[in-house]
Amino acid sequence: MLWIMRFSGLFSAALVIIVLSPSLQSFPPAEAIRSSHLDAYLRSDPPPHRVSFRKAPVFRNAADCAAADIESGVCNPSLVHVAITLDFEYLRGSVAAVHSILKHTSCPESVFFHFLVSETGLESLIRSTFPELRFKVYYFDPEIVRTLISTSVRQALEQPLNYARNYLAGLLEPCVRRVIYLDSDLVVVDDIAKLWKTKLGSKTIGAPEYCHANFTKYFTAAFWADERFSGAFSGRKPCYFNTGVMVMDLERWRRVGYTEVIEKWMEIQKSDRIYELGSLPPFLLVFAGEVAPIEHRWNQHGLGGDNVRGSCRDLHPGPVSLLHWSGSGKPWFRLDSRRPCPLDSLWAPYDLYGR
């Protein structure tokens, strides 16, 4: 990743002259939202005028990878499981994320993708773009969370699909005991197998933590003033973590029933307004201070700026394995508008949009 580190080091000095061209349930609802009986619905052809992608190159396993048994299905214990949401607005980002993972892993045929959708036509788009990709599409019913979602600082954060990760343990097959969850606005520039091997110990999730961040700002004054709510962190040392990159122990999640715990906090939010920022605070309430630490290199987040202006930002100091355009500025929109940020050029090589 030396080229990225050098790029970052030159960024500040060159900023003024750089011009880039765009090149808990106890899971009874699981039966209702798993994809098995919705296959025809999910596979229906996409509207032809909406979007198209170039076919990705074929990526093969290196010689030292475990044999890729295509017939073994999703329950093959040698697989690396990755979950990503798909929707038409962010589809370009999701496709770039998949492309980046395949390009940088030594064993691309051993990665199984779990795509969460609430729209039709997306499975055929993925299959035409990645003809040999190992994946399955799961339908997430937005009505499950629609009444639980409260208004946020940015409308995009209110979309029901943002909450699908809360239900992964019920959506995915019981044999899938662990999964890497990734947002749609990132690219991986290292071998995803390294992230997969994260040791979680007794924790349910692993993520890069940022303990220097002002944790109090993620909740309202009313939250901190009420011991019924703020007492949730009693005995913990909570730190901010970004939920766009997580390694999740689904077996432990199912056993404890964390989906139901998150839903209860969302119900409290509807009546007491204890936070402002979408789907992140419920995760902080349940897991902050109980997260298995992962190196910061696996989530160089904030490249999309803040949640309002989406201004350009530099890389954080240190090595880089994953670039994350969290915030309101997305690289594909900025590239198309011919007003990209310098770091958007690091996303562009993975873009397969257009013919």
Query: Does residue 266 carry a pLDDT above 80?
Result: yes
Residue 162 or residue 48, greater confidence: 162
Question: CATH for 80-350, among 3.40.50.300, 3.30.70.600, 3.90.550.10, 3.20.20.80?
Answer: 3.90.550.10
What's residue 278's pLDDT?
Answer: 82
CA–CA distance, 270 with 273 (Å, rounded to integer): 6
Contact 322, 294 (CB under 8 A): no
What's residue 306's pLDDT?
Answer: 80
Across 3-12, 141-150, 229-238, least confident range? 3-12
**Mean pLDDT computed over 215-233:** 95
User: Burial of 234 by CB count in 10 Å (0-12 exposed, 13-18 middle, 19+ buried)?
Assistant: exposed
Query: Does residue 71 carry a pLDDT above 90?
Result: no
List beta partners, residue 82: 113, 180
Q: pLDDT for 82-106, tens place per residue? A: 999 999 999 999 999 999 999 999 9
Q: Is 64 helix (H, G, I), strand (E, B) or coil?
A: coil
- C-alpha radius of gyration, the chain, whole number: 20
Contact 24, 326 (CB under 8 A): no
Q: pLDDT for 312-338, tens place per residue? A: 999 988 999 999 999 889 999 999 999
What's residue 29's pLDDT?
Answer: 32
